[in-house]
A = this chain, B = another copy of it.
Amino acid sequence: MNDTTSRYQVSIEADPNLPIIRMTRDFDATPAQLMRAHTDPELFARWVGPNGTDTRILDWDATTGGRWRYVAGHDGEEYGFHGCFHEVSERRIVQTFTFDGQPEGVALETLRFEDLGDGRTRLHAQSLVDSFEGRDEWLASGMETGVVDGYAKLDALIAEL
């Protein structure tokens, strides 16, 4: 499955003046359904990452002040990620994000779920880091494939939410 089979495209933009990546993506789901898909560890593990990823959740407390950690297996390699949840509320999720392979790097991520009505929602995701170099490396890392594949898997999950 890839994005050519999805009804909606993801927009990924680098801010020209701030070390921020912004992503926007519509879904045929309510904000509450999308919130569940991002906070329920079993659901989250089923859609995050590129196709062929096997995600094991090691730690998960998706509440304000909670924490998360998972390992993604892909093409015989394992990739670890971890962070803490600054805020999990109806209006947004704010969390930190580190790829264990680059432990110095920390992103501050904000997810907002905009209700478009008629069972549709626009996800606004923002990722803030402390340098333009780090932001641009992340953009060049192939992250787009993971995002496009992941959201296509999330589309397919929505019917179960």
**Which A residues fall within an 8 A CB radius of B?**
18-20, 59, 64-69, 82-87, 94, 96, 98, 106, 108, 110, 126, 128-132
CA distance A85 to B19 in the complex (A): 22
Given A18-B130, A19-B18, are A106 and B84 also a contact pair (CB < 8 Å)?
no
Partner of A96, one of B66, B96, B98: B96
B98 touches A106 (CB 8 A): no
Copies in the complex: 2
Q: Give the CA-CA distance A87 to B100 in the complex, in Å.
A: 12
Residues in B whose Cβ lies below 8 Å from that of A20:
130
Tell me what chain A mostly uses at the interface: helix, strand, loop, or mixed. Answer: strand
A85 contact set on B, CB distance < 8 A: 84
Q: Smallest distance from the beta carbon of A111 to chain B beta carbons, Å?
A: 13
A130 partner, pick from B69, B84, B86, B126, beta carbons under 8 A = B126
**In the complex, what's the smallest C-beta–C-beta distance from A151 to chain B, in angstroms?**
23
Which residues does chain B contribute within 8 Å of A98, judged by CB atoms? 86-87
User: Which residues in B have their C-beta under 8 angstroms from that of A68?
Assistant: 65
Cβ A106 vs Cβ B130 within 8 A: no
Q: How far apart sit A67 and B66, CA to CA, in the bound complex (Å)?
A: 7
Inter-chain contacts of A132 with B (CB < 8 A): 18
Partner of A106, one of B69, B108, B129: B108
